[in-house]
Chain A
Amino acid sequence: MVKRALAIITLLLIGFWLAKGLVGVPFGEDKMLVGEYYLENVKEQTGAVNAVTAVVVNYRGFDTLGEVTVLFIASTGVGALLWRRKKERSAKSEGSVVLTAGAKMLLPFIMLFGAYIFVHGHLTPGGGFPGGATVATAFLMLYLAFKEYEIDHKVFEPLEGLAGVGYVTVGLIGLAIGGYFLFDWIWQTWQFGHENIGRLFSAGFIPIIYTLIGIKVGTELTGIVDNMIKEEPKGGGQ
């Protein structure tokens, strides 16, 4: 009781302190130093209609590379901690016919929609991360609907690595051609798709990077699910 009361009082004090700070912040007012610059120059400098995408992949692409890495670490970390020589699915019972048939029918639609999201990152809301998560949902559905289902590890792990290598390579090509790491060489040097703004083949390397991120996020989240859903076989040991 005393403990709870003290916790509540402390939280109130912290809340008051934060509120005092927040009062002085002019949120929502016209205080966008860099924000305005992005909105004014985004089309001409990156070719993207979606300003968020341009900021995330072009202007602040370094952060996105970092975020992709964070997800990679999460997946690698889960893999390292749940590592066992032999692992099996632990599902007890088969799903109902409605579930399995429904899953089979839904699968291509979810996959297609995921791919659509990450390919159209420069045009519509979304991008690599939501698209990849959608693709991973399709695999999660397979895992939940079928007792025996397991992804092909020979393909999945190298694919995850390759997508990451692809991202860094695109950045390094930028360093070689344009002189800067992560430089958008397709848009700024080749000027590919300059008359095409607002259509699919535009926006320089954004669709390429988002496709790579989509593949990477999709394989990583699936890998995490795969690791967490499996157990050591009973009585088998190592």
Chain B
Amino acid sequence: MSQYAALLIALPLMGAFLIPILKKISRSAIMPFLAFVTLVQTGIAAWVFKEVYTTGKPIIIMAGGFRPPVGINLYIGHFASLFVFIVALVSFLMVIFSMKSIKVEPKDKYAMLFLLLMLGATGMIATGDIFNLFVFMEITAISAYALTAYNKSGEASDAAMKYIILGGIGSSFFLVGIALLYGSLGTLNLAQIGQLAQLMDPTVAQVALGLIVLGLAVEAEIFPLNAWAPDAYQAAPHPITTMFSAFVVKASLYAMARILYLTSAVSSWGNVLNLLIILGTLTVIIGELSALRQTNVKRMFAYSSIAQVGFIAVGFALGTQAGVNASVFHMVNHAIVKALMFLAVGYVALELGGVSLEDFRGLGKRMPLTAFAITVGAISIIGIPLFNVFWSKMQLVMAALEAGKTGVIALILGASLVEAVYYIRLIHTMWFEGEGEKIGEDTLLGTIMLLLVALVIIIGIYPDAVWQIVQKAGKDIFDVASYVKNVPLMGVSP
């Protein structure tokens, strides 16, 4: 029965391949079809989530019926089931937004690329094989390149060009890293890599892991390979920006954390963690300082998103259970908040035709609901109590304290201060400056925004339920021994 979770991969693929045929029958049916596929995907993901959390056992999908490491397996454990659900849900909400916001042709190609972006992120999170991870990363990346340039403006082509070159270099790094791992261990299965990691030559392991971290850093938006991100966020269609920030980044961060923790038995492991902590810190500092200077609000949110990614990376690099839990919690919270904020800012761009700070003057009077949504999101990101991000930042601080890294605590608090400056400036511009006529806001998008706002506040007031889930998901990454034990490896050993 549990093998049917393979539909999480098969369904979006089937949907994407059916669209060229559907186009010949009826062009107007494409967007509703897209909504239908993502809704079914959300349903399957919800079922998988319930299944994994009630039984407490991961679902192992063996493609082709061959046992790993001979065949490829998917490992849908606590982490994967949670994030696959988030990916599907955010995609479904963004399809609704796309119906309003995508006016540029050709919509059929947009729908195909949209589904495949969702598929790529789902696959990256679910897979249990390192080469398969690379394939899904390519699916995600290449659909992201095409979607970045989708608006066909000069700015969009520019951003996509930057992205495609950096992404290409990153993937080749990653592939060389995989080749080194395979060369020294003779297996591609993640569980078996975890099992055999201590046999690896420390120098080889260090080079391979360094290459893998750098390769994934492009998609994960970690300094110095994130220069594409602000441009791409600004130029991509609004629903796609939301998807980048809400889950494409998270999938790559997860992949990085998964590979790092599986090889934690390697003696040079500490060096790789130090590399990641340095890169993460620089990501936060540069992201926040750049956000401070922006006058384009979408770009400001993009830099803020990058800075949050830095927090998550630093949390993973602490090397403790508490740090991983805090990072996963921050991933969940950030996905919710940034989905809300990019949705709202995209809607503003749609109604007012621009997203410079000027356009936001008097937004509180013109589009009160949207302005309210942005305000809640901004307050939450700063880390004010009673909102969800407060709790994950709190956990990050506590994890850093426990690991004895006082520098990280200073970083988080300092960055929050900078965030407060630019977000409060935005809130002030929206509510206390400018005048304007009220614009009728879309009820459907308004409902989605209110739903996300409610989620932000509910998690802010009752964080315990989500914290329980997140702790299990964090254990899934940190506890390598039980990850290896859960995969039914067949007896091919050295």
Number of B residues, CB within 8 Å of A: 66
| A169 to B106 Cα, complex, angstroms | 27
Contact A81 B146 (CB under 8 A): yes
Query: A157 — nearest CB in chain B belongs to which residue?
Result: B20
Contacts of B17 in A (CB 8 A): 72, 161-162, 164-165, 168
Contact B64 A180 (CB under 8 A): yes
Contact B64 A83 (CB under 8 A): no
Contacting residues of chain A (161-208) with chain B, CB-CB under 8 angstroms: 161-162, 164-165, 168-169, 171-172, 174-175, 178-184, 188
Contact A157 B23 (CB under 8 A): yes
Contacts of B20 in A (CB 8 A): 157-158, 160-161
Contacts of A23 in B (CB 8 A): 203
Chain B CB within 8 A of A24 CB: yes
Q: Which of A56-64, A115-123, A129-137, A139-147 contacts B (4 or more CB under 8 A)?
A: A56-64
Chain B 373-391, CB within 8 Å of chain A: the 1/0 string?
Answer: 0000000000000000000
Contact B70 A171 (CB under 8 A): no
- Residue of B13, B65, B139, B180 touching A25 (CB-CB under 8 A): B180
Contact B204 A62 (CB under 8 A): no
Contact A73 B63 (CB under 8 A): no
- Residue of A63, A67, A76 touching B72 (CB-CB under 8 A): A63
Contacts of B24 in A (CB 8 A): 154, 157-158
Contacts of A20 in B (CB 8 A): 203, 207
Contacts of A165 in B (CB 8 A): 14, 17-18, 21
Contacts of A90 in B (CB 8 A): none
- Residue of A34, A67, A70, A162 touching B21 (CB-CB under 8 A): A162
Chain B CB within 8 A of A21 CB: yes
Query: A57 — nearest CB in chain B belongs to which residue?
Result: B64
Chain B 141-163, CB within 8 Å of chain A: the 1/0 string?
Answer: 01101100110100000000000
Contacts of B69 in A (CB 8 A): 33-34
Chain A CB within 8 A of B304 CB: no
- Residue of B64, B145, B204 touching A21 (CB-CB under 8 A): B204
Chain B CB within 8 A of A31 CB: yes
Contact A24 B204 (CB under 8 A): yes
Given contacts A21-B207, A83-B105, A178 and B65 within 8 Å (CB-CB): yes
- Shortest B212–chain A CB gap in Å is 12
Chain A CB within 8 A of B119 CB: yes
Chain B 175-187, CB within 8 Å of chain A: the 1/0 string?
Answer: 0100010011111
Contact B63 A62 (CB under 8 A): yes
| A178 to B65 Cα, complex, angstroms | 8
- Residue of A27, A70, A164, A182 touching B64 (CB-CB under 8 A): A182
Chain A CB within 8 A of B110 CB: yes
Contact B183 A25 (CB under 8 A): yes
Chain B CB within 8 A of A1 CB: no
Interface of B is mostly: helix
Contact A73 B64 (CB under 8 A): no
| A34 to B193 Cα, complex, angstroms | 12
Looking at B65, B123, B142, B207, which has the most chain A CB atoms within 10 Å of its CB? B65
Contacting residues of chain A (26-53) with chain B, CB-CB under 8 angstroms: 26-27, 31-38, 45
Given contacts A59-B70, A77-B145, A22 and B492 within 8 Å (CB-CB): no
Chain A CB within 8 A of B116 CB: yes
How many A-B residue contacts, CB cutoff 8 Å? 190
Given contacts A34-B187, A73-B116, A181 and B135 within 8 Å (CB-CB): no
Looking at A77, A162, A184, which has the most chain B CB atoms within 10 Å of its CB? A77
Chain B CB within 8 A of A66 CB: yes
- Shortest B124–chain A CB gap in Å is 11
Looking at A26, A158, A168, which has the most chain B CB atoms within 10 Å of its CB? A168
Given contacts A34-B70, A76-B109, A27 and B18 within 8 Å (CB-CB): no
Given contacts A25-B183, A59-B70, A72-B16, A158 and B136 within 8 Å (CB-CB): no
Contact B71 A60 (CB under 8 A): yes
- Residue of A67, A154, A174, A183 touching B135 (CB-CB under 8 A): A67
Chain A CB within 8 A of B61 CB: yes
Query: A85 — nearest CB in chain B belongs to which residue?
Result: B105
Chain A CB within 8 A of B55 CB: no
Chain A CB within 8 A of B358 CB: no
Chain A CB within 8 A of B10 CB: yes
Query: A67 — nearest CB in chain B belongs to which residue?
Result: B135
Contact A69 B187 (CB under 8 A): no
Contacts of A184 in B (CB 8 A): 64-65
Query: B23 — nearest CB in chain A belongs to which residue?
Result: A157
In the complex, 17 of the A-B residue pairs with CB atoms within 8 angstroms, ordered by the A residue number, are A22-B180, A25-B201, A33-B185, A33-B494, A34-B70, A36-B492, A37-B70, A58-B64, A59-B64, A59-B72, A60-B72, A65-B13, A76-B113, A158-B21, A164-B17, A168-B14, A182-B64
The 6 A-B pairs of least Cβ separation, nearest first, read: A21-B207, A77-B146, A164-B17, A181-B6, A66-B135, A161-B20
Query: Chain B residues in contact with chain A, CB under 8 A?
Result: 3-4, 6, 9-10, 13-14, 16-21, 23-24, 61-66, 69-72, 105-106, 109-110, 112-113, 116, 119, 123, 129, 131-132, 135-136, 138-139, 142-143, 145-146, 149-150, 152, 176, 180, 183-188, 192, 201, 203-204, 206-208, 492-494
Please give 20 more A-B residue pairs, beta carbons under 8 A apart, in addition to A31-B494, A181-B64. A21-B206, A26-B184, A33-B493, A59-B70, A61-B63, A69-B116, A69-B139, A70-B138, A73-B112, A73-B116, A73-B142, A74-B142, A76-B109, A83-B152, A157-B24, A158-B20, A168-B10, A180-B65, A182-B64, A188-B65
